[in-house]
Structure 1
């Protein structure tokens, strides 16, 4: 495992993810949009995939980052059903087994500006 420092874009992604409130979720695309990379959802995904590679001083609530449809696409990076279980513990409601009800739980990073 690398103990190096993430690049600037990854750092900015992690700063946003660290601020997702408990009981809320956001999407890769919303994070990318907030960071000024409109079509950068995949880049945010790469940042999230690489999070474990860095020796950072804080724990990210990575379980709160979903795809644009509310699907738990990152769940493969969690042991067992941990991603879903953490969201349920926070009171997140699901429309389907692995699809969050975004209407009631979506957090837009643009709220950081207010």
Structure 2
């Protein structure tokens, strides 16, 4: 019988997602799908699952929906972080301007 990892154990994919998120500079963001693309594995839902489960210890507000919307349920806190970091926002002030804020992966 194969033994299963405890549910709170980070697997390699989760560890890789969190590593990418930790490298996003202040004032820059990536969409969930951008993170998956950088890793060459998974997709937006898998990245979202990792962030929901393990993302509390990394700058989670820097990973958002492709339309610039903050993570669901965390909009107020995320918008505070965007303002502190100087992340470019859309004119509505409730979404990130992805064209200007998307990180290209360079240091």
1:65 aligns with 63
**CA RMSD in angstroms, aligned pairs only:** 2.3
More strand by share: 1
Q: Which runs of 5+ in 1 are unaligned?
A: 54-58
Larger Rg: 2
Structure 1-normalised TM-score?
0.77
Identify which of 78, 83, 91 aligns with 2:78: 83
Identify which of 72, 87, 93 aligns with 1:92: 87
Deviates more, 1:14-23 or 1:80-89: 80-89
Structure 1 consecutive aligned stretches of length 4 or more whose deviation exceeds 4 Å: none
Offset of 1:94 from its aligned partner?
A: 1.6
2:23 aligns with 19
Matches within 5 A, 1:20-59: 20-37=24-41, 40-51=43-54, 59=57
The reply to whether residue 105 of structure 1 matches residue 98 of structure 2 is: no
1:56 aligns with none
Q: Deviations over 1:9-36 (max 9, x none)?
A: 1110000000000111111111001111
Q: Deviations over 1:21-71 (max 9, x none)?
A: 01111111110011112x611100000000168xxxxx3010111111111
Q: Is the 8 A contact 1:75 1:83 kept in 2?
A: no
Q: Which runs of 5+ in 2 are unaligned?
A: 1-5
